[in-house]
Structure 1
Amino acid sequence: MLRIIDARTGVPVDAAPARRGLTRVEAHAPGFDTGALRVLLVTDLLVRALELGGTPVWAVLHGHRDQPELRAGAAALGIRPLEDSREVGHGLGEKQVIHVVAEDGVSPDGVRVAVAPVHAESPAPLTGADPVALRLALLTPPRSRPVRLDTVALTEAHDTLVRWRRAVADWARHPSRPIPDGVRTELRGAWEDDLDVPRVLRLLTRVETEPDIPDGARFETYAYADRLLGLDLTRDLGSLA
């Protein structure tokens, strides 16, 4: 079960306290910048993790300025659409409300997930950048740590994506094998422990070179993890001779 640290209290809480009860996730992004996109990205990860655990989720955007830009930027990063908070009320059967907010932002009562700021070279978040590489660069540090987005970080993220996509396409040519039980347990344990995405990424790096894991199992591991990460790691399937 996913547990998330409430930034108000510093105490881990169940993200879905009632079995099959609805969890409402509210993203608070007052304007359009890279920090706001990081808030929306953490919201997207939280929604994905809850859904992977079988929890119904209702995702809502609180953003009264730059809504078109926010939504366009979110779509470019592969963030799934959020409903407009001005057009919705409380959800039927709602058991939990989680607010995802910038570190220095404010939110109503409820569980609060704080997201550290982004220090970017360019004030325009998507100018000249591969959106998926930007997504990976924002995912790599813990959400409590500020992100420095520069040419080096984006290049490293881009190179990792290229390498992983090529590897996944190659592994797909081998007979499928189940994800090793220990690897699956580690993956779920990482993202269910306060949404520890950096730990998920480290595990994928290990699986990439672990000699005892068959290639078919590597493929299934990466495809499974990508249901959370949203990096389109299977994009190049069929591209290799």
Structure 2
Amino acid sequence: MLRIIDARTGEPMDAAPARRGLTRIEVHASGFDASGLRVLLVADLLVRALELGGTPVWALLTGEREQAELRAAGAALGIRPFEDSRGLGAALGEAQVVHVAGEAEETAPEGVRLAVASVDAAVPLAPAADSDPATWRLALLARRRTLPLRLDADTLDEAGRTLARWRGAVALWARQPSRPVPDDVRGRLRGSWEDDLDIPATLRVLEWVETRPDLADGARFETYAYADRLLGLDLTRDVGRAP
């Protein structure tokens, strides 16, 4: 069960308190900047985590400024589209409301508040035409959402190297017979993201799987493919390509 810390109370709350009950996610991004993009990405991860657990989700984007620019930048990073919240009320059967917002953003009083720390971007906000947007996504994922993040050339370079290494490894592992994700590995993965959406912990599990000596390569492949349903890094992109 996914539990998140309510920024209003500091207490852990179930993101989906009713079995199969609908969770409404409201995304509060004030405009097109690196911090707004991080808010959008955290909401995307929350949607993915809930759906992996079988929870139906209704995701809405609030705000008036630079919505088209924000949506376009989000799409480039693999963030799935959110509905426009204007004129919409509560949904039938709604069991939970989660507000995903920057630390300074105001939200409605009902529901759980998921706070996202700011980003200090020392690089142009839009990825260059010849760059891989997944590098930006990984750089934003690598630090806990409650901690401020500085996004600079060194951060992007490190994310790019990690992404290239993982994609190369996944392509090699895919040549071996498939094996199921071991139960302990699956448990550690789900335990990481279900603990207040701790994505850096999820990435550490992948680093552990990468070098764990007793795992078959087919199990490593299936583990990375499974985790990527949450992470959205296109880790299987190079499977089947000529070396």
Using the size of structure 1 for normalisation, the TM-score is: 0.97
Aligned to 2:112: 111
Aligned to 2:240: 238
In structure 1, list runs of 5 or more residues that go unmatched: none
How far the C-alpha of 1:135 sits from its partner, in A, is 0.5
How far the C-alpha of 1:127 sits from its partner, in A, is 4.1
Aligned to 1:5: 5
Structure 1 residues 14 and 32: alpha-carbon distance in aligned structure 2, compared to 1, 3 A threshold: same
Aligned to 1:209: 211
Aligned to 2:181: 179
In structure 2, list runs of 5 or more residues that go unmatched: none
Aligned-residue identity in percent: 67
Aligned to 1:121: 122
Cα distance in 1 for partners of 2:200, 2:46 equals 14
Counterpart code for 2:156: L
Structure 1 residues 165 and 127: alpha-carbon distance in aligned structure 2, compared to 1, 3 A threshold: closer
The answer to whether 1:58 aligns with 2:58 is yes
Cα distance in 2 for partners of 1:235, 1:83 equals 28
Contact 2:127 2:133 in 1 (8 A): no
Counterpart code for 2:106: V
Aligned to 2:143: 141
List per-residue Cα deviations over 1:74-112 (Å, max 9, x = no partner): 100100000001142211110100000001111111200
Cα distance in 2 for partners of 1:189, 1:199 equals 9
The answer to whether 1:78 aligns with 2:74 is no
Greater shift in the superposed pair: 95-104 or 127-136: 127-136
**Where does 1:26-37 land on structure 2 (aligned, <5 Å)?**
26-37=26-37
Contact 1:169 1:240 in 2 (8 A): no
Structure 1 runs of 4+ aligned residues shifted over 6 Å read: none
